[in-house]
């Protein structure tokens, strides 16, 4: 008899696609598993007329899914790891991480456009992105934009924005690679911590052995550094902080960004042994705290 796993996801097309990625990967290695998809509308999806900062941060995208786990409505939940606060729920551990999809941010122009119109604002609700955008496009206004990927693209194509800055991974997972105009390098724009990685969350003590082959250790190493960086800075998911760890053999390059007391961006990087990933994240954060004061 097949084991039925109830997998929880937000209702958006991207969230459902991300749940499908997990399901497909597991079924390839364990055909005795059967999935039941349960979609849940979160508070972050319901309130679209206010910034995330004003209504409680990206944690609003996960609270209902976590409650569904605690209430035994679902067995596992799939999240974009960048949306999970660094202080994770003690009874709801992360039990598996996906391989990292393209981790960078991208510039998206209106359909049919080939040049940025400086008279119209760029759409971005992320302080992290906005701070770094101002270094690249000094003479253009940046205004917030909310909604799922397709909603944002529709606003862009209506001419409300000259461009959007989005996560490359999300567009690629939705089959929208052709909308990407420019991929920002890590030197140009440091991504959010754990961007491009899917996290599977479950209840403490649950048997999640079926996820063993899905779990990616490179993503785990990078996230250990990135999330410790955020934890040391005591940064939530909406703070203007960026961090990206690149694994090259046994070496890990960690890049970070924060802001000083005057609100100016401070950048730093550190290279070390990948076995010390968590320590590297903490060390870089401590260095940047000293430089920010």
DSSP for 239-278? SS-EEEEEEETTEEEEEEEEE-TTS-EEEEEEEEEGGGHH
Q: Which residue has the tokens 């420019």?
A: 182
- DSSP H stretches of helix in the chain: 13-29, 43-46, 52-55, 63-70, 127-136, 149-157, 168-173, 217-232, 277-292
Is 147 strand, coil or helix? coil
Beta-carbon contacts of 232 under 8 Å, excluding residues fewer than 6 positions away, are: 281, 282, 285, 286, 289
Please check whether residue 179 is in contact with residue 139, taking contact to mean a CB–CB distance below 8 angstroms: no
Please check whether residue 179 is in contact with residue 108, taking contact to mean a CB–CB distance below 8 angstroms: yes
Q: Which residue has the tokens 């349960």?
A: 38
Q: So which residues are the catalytic ones?
A: 83
Residues 169, 101: Cα–Cα separation, whole Å: 5
**Greatest extent of the chain over all pairs of C-alpha atoms, in Å:** 63
**Of 203, 161, 151, nearest to 11 (Cα)?**
151
Residues 174, 169: Cα–Cα separation, whole Å: 9
Residues 64, 180: Cα–Cα separation, whole Å: 32
């Amino acid at each position: 008899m097949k084991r039925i796993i109830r997998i929880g996801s937000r209702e958006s097309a991207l969230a459902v696609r991300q749940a499908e990625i997990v399901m497909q990967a597991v079924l390839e290695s364990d055909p005795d598993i059967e999935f039941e998809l349960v979609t849940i509308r979160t508070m972050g999806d319901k309130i679209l007329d206010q910034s995330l900062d004003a209504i409680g941060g990206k944690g609003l995208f996960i609270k209902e899914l976590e409650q569904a786990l605690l209430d035994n409505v679902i067995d596992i939940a799939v999240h974009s790891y960048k949306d999970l606060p660094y202080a994770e729920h003690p009874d709801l551990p992360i039990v598996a991480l996906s391989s990292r999809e393209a981790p960078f941010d991208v510039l998206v122009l209106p359909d049919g456009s080939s040049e940025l119109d400086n008279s119209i604002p760029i759409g971005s609700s992320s302080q992290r992105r906005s701070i770094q955008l101002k270094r690249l496009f000094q003479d253009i206004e940046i205004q917030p934009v909310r909604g799922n990927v397709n909603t944002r693209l529709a606003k862009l194509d209506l001419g409300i924005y000259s461009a959007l800055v989005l996560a490359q991974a999300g567009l690629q997972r939705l089959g929208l690679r052709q909308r990407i105009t420019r991929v920002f390098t890590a030197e140009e724009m440091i991504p959010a911590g754990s961007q491009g990685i899917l996290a599977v969350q479950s209840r403490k003590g649950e048997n999640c052995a079926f996820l063993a082959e899905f779990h990616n250790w490179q993503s785990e190493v990078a996230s250990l550094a990135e999330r410790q960086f955020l934890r040391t800075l005591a940064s939530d998911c909406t703070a203007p902080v960026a961090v990206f760890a690149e694994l090259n053999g046994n070496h890990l390059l960690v890049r970070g960004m924060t802001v000083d007391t005057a609100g100016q961006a401070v950048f730093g990087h550190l290279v070390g042994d990948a076995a010390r990933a968590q320590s590297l994240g903490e060390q870089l954060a401590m260095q940047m705290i000293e430089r920010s004061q």
